[in-house]
Amino acid sequence: MSGMKPMLWTRITASTILGSMLVMLFVMMVIDMNPKSELSQVKDYEPWEQASVDLVNRLPLQDGGRVKPFSTHAQFTMLRMRGDRKIKVENGKGEIFAIKPSEWLMDCVFRPTLAVQMPTFRVDNSAAIEAIGLKALGRRDRYSYQQLEEAIPKLFELAQSYEKIEEKRRDAVQKQVMDLAYNVRNYQFLIGYFGFARAAVEMKQANPDGSSRFTDMSTVMGTAPMISQMVQQSQSSGQAIPPNLQSLLQQVLDGANFAKFGLVLLPPEDSSSKDWRSAGDRIMDVMTGKVADPRTAIEEVKLLETAVRSVRISQAEFRKQFEPFVEKIAARATSRGEYRSIQAENHYNRSNYILYAMVFFLMGLLLAGSYWFLKIFEMPRWVMKTTSRASWICTTLGLLAMVTAIGMRCYIMWRPPVGNLYDTVIFICAVAVLLLLVIESFTREALAHSLAALMGLALVLLARRFEVGDAKDHMDPLVAVLNSNYWLTTHVITVTMGYAAGLLTAFLSMTYVLLYGLGLGDNLKKILKMVTTAAYGGLCLTLFLSLVGTVLGGIWANDSWGRFWGWDPKENGALMIVLWSLILLHARFGGLVKEWGFHLGSIFLACIVSFSWWHVNFLGQGLHNYGFTSGKSTIWYFYLAVVLTILFGIVLWVVEQTRALPAEKSKDSIAS
């Protein structure tokens, strides 16, 4: 490490690379905290009171193969349709409200006339809007149901025709049209769900004077045996079903059909049955005589009718009417052992530990930046020490928030922490930050915890962006072959920790290059040596975890389908990490590369880990393929950034070599 005096251009380049990374993080954070959310007008909008929201959130429902709270279902339904978790509305009186997922879904099902005015549908390609015959607002924009309503028949017609095209061959517009149609269809199920409760059933010619009588669905359900008898009588006598009865049956069928999907919120009374029922299912169960004792079903529908109608009166009345229903459902779910984690999940949704972690990491990073700034200008020692300590505390609090979030997810899912890609992001974040804090405890140079804050912030942002882009509930259960707590605990956790260690190692080596380029401080040599030692330790850990994790995966595969090695892209990616770690360690031991070569190779590890962890999902091959394709281009920018850092490192190394040569020569001449 001779000739370590930096030059102006190396400082400028290193600052540019570091600055670009920080700016990118800042931009990502701004996007994350302030998603494009235009103010839209919803006339006479009245916000839900917190007590109403809390009450509805206590309601469990079945979705994605598990029982979850209303709040989770609302969150991911809104993300899927709208692409974020907030809508800002103005009620025509100058009052502005921010509507969150639970409130949005409550509007959809209880107050659809207000909901249809909200810009719910995100359209990323305006050509899709033009294709269905509407005038696009912007290239990427959001539309309300009201705005789309007239074009919905055309939308469904187009989507149906595109369905025949193989998925891989569909172009961007076709994909967008199909997504929009899918979302609109699901939305219709939501806004129509309580249609049976809002509108009365018309019983034609029911009064002695021949006029119609109006009644509730639950009342009609109570007369199901009588209706069934009348239908049978008509059929046995060979006569058509009377028009008034036919009209009644049609209304029942329409009401039940609209309430069939959207919210599956009624646990079956039969404890052996796992499938929950929707309100529509319950109506049809009674009307078709499927249930021996229809009283419970009728009572449930009656409670729903009363609650839905009470929304028009006041929210206090709504809570009064809806509470017995929630209590009833919660009690039954509890007796079935399916209410175990509902409150915990509501707490998880409400508390938003990941957001807290982001804030703490940001504070940690800002304080760390201040510390290094103070250090350059040689400020008093106590000021630097306090700033550094504060940064460490913030980063540690961020880690605690992450660990709490992961722990809560484990409790809710009742499985080990990593089962899908989202889980890996937050787990890698926690492991990487923890490892860096451990390194800090050995080195005490304030560098490792500064890096921990930076890495923590970057990974939390990635997790949040991925959650929004993927819009899937990542706590849903796993498919049969993956559903093994033993293997999830051993193989998956080990491999994921290997990714964390690999990224951390690459990150440390990047730090080496940038620190060298910046050439700041008196004890640069000592810090660089410390970084090298830490990177070496990181690489050893990467090798150990990746090798053990990969082989454990092979053993799992061997137990699952008899192949130790199936050449699954994910397996291959892990093997590549192992091979690259071995190459670097052996090249170093064999004297083929020295400190610079080690670090440059170690930086490249970031590309390999990203390929294995993230990129293989785009290949659409193998068991580990998560099937998403969004954000494909972002990874190329990441590769580019890594390659540029390597190139910068190569230049620095060449400069160091050329500087060292004259020094060696002059030493030789003195010696001779």
Name which of 40 and 533 has its Cβ closer to other proteins.
533
3 state DSSP class of 144:
strand
Name which of 380 and 590 has its Cβ closer to other proteins.
590
Up-side HSE of residue 580: CA atoms within 13 Å toward CB? 28
Amino acid symbol at 103: E
| Lookup: tokens for 207 | 């009064």
Name which of 98 and 647 has its Cβ closer to other proteins.
647
Name which of 145 and 487 has its Cβ closer to other proteins.
487
Name which of 13 and 532 has its Cβ closer to other proteins.
532
| Lookup: tokens for 648 | 């910068």
| Lookup: tokens for 31 | 């996007």
Query: Tokens 């259960």 belong to which residue?
Result: 477
Least distance (Å) between residue 304 CB and other proteins: 19
Least distance (Å) between residue 644 CB and other proteins: 17
Least distance (Å) between residue 562 CB and other proteins: 4
Least distance (Å) between residue 504 CB and other proteins: 15
Name which of 464 and 588 has its Cβ closer to other proteins.
588
Name which of 327 and 559 has its Cβ closer to other proteins.
559
Name which of 130 and 664 has its Cβ closer to other proteins.
664
- In sequence order, what are the residues at sequence separation of 6 or more whose Cβ sits closer than 8 angstroms to the Cβ of residue 278? 259, 260, 261, 262, 263, 264, 265, 266
Sign of CA dihedral 140, 141, 147, 149: positive
| Lookup: tokens for 51 | 């007590």
Name which of 121 and 596 has its Cβ closer to other proteins.
596
Task: Return left, alpha or beta for 384; rule: phi > 0 is left, psi -120 to 50 is alpha, else beta.
Answer: alpha
Least distance (Å) between residue 442 CB and other proteins: 8
Name which of 319 and 491 has its Cβ closer to other proteins.
491
| Lookup: tokens for 372 | 């290094």
> Which H or E element spans position 527?
helix 524-561
The torsion of the CA quartet 539, 541, 543, 544, rounded to 10 degrees, works out to: 160
> Which H or E element spans position 656?
helix 632-671
DSSP-assigned letter for residue 479: P
Distance, CA of 463 to CA of 27 (rounded, Å): 15
Least distance (Å) between residue 620 CB and other proteins: 7
| Lookup: tokens for 106 | 């409550």
| Phi, psi angle pair for 34, to nearest 5° | -130, 70
| Phi, psi angle pair for 215, to nearest 5° | -145, 180
- In sequence order, what are the residues at sequence separation of 6 or more whose Cβ sits closer than 8 angstroms to the Cβ of residue 125? 139, 140, 172, 173, 176
- In sequence order, what are the residues at sequence separation of 6 or more whose Cβ sits closer than 8 angstroms to the Cβ of residue 558? 564
Name which of 161 and 621 has its Cβ closer to other proteins.
621
Q: What distances in angstroms separate CA 268 from CA 47, 256, 300, 338, 670, one per listed residue? A: 33, 17, 12, 12, 93
Radius of gyration of the CA atoms of the chain, in A: 31
Least distance (Å) between residue 43 CB and other proteins: 37
Name which of 131 and 506 has its Cβ closer to other proteins.
506
Query: Tokens 């929630």 belong to which residue?
Result: 326
Name which of 264 and 437 has its Cβ closer to other proteins.
264
Least distance (Å) between residue 580 CB and other proteins: 6
Least distance (Å) between residue 54 CB and other proteins: 26
Distance, CA of 504 to CA of 436 (rounded, Å): 8
Output the CA angle 379-383-388, nearest 5 degrees: 110
Least distance (Å) between residue 488 CB and other proteins: 11
Strands (E) in 400-526, as ranges, are none
Least distance (Å) between residue 572 CB and other proteins: 4
Least distance (Å) between residue 320 CB and other proteins: 31
Distance, CA of 11 to CA of 515 (rounded, Å): 9
Q: Helices 524-561 & 569-589, crossing angle to 10 degrees?
A: 140
CB 542 within 8 A of CB 577: yes
Footprint on this chain of other proteins (rule: CB under 8 A): 62-66, 264, 274-276, 442, 476-477, 479-481, 483-484, 487, 532-533, 536-537, 540-541, 543-544, 547-548, 551-552, 554-556, 558-562, 564-567, 569, 572-573, 575-576, 579-580, 582-583, 586-592, 595, 598, 611, 616, 619-621, 636
Least distance (Å) between residue 171 CB and other proteins: 14
Least distance (Å) between residue 368 CB and other proteins: 24
Name which of 373 and 486 has its Cβ closer to other proteins.
486
Amino acid symbol at 507: F
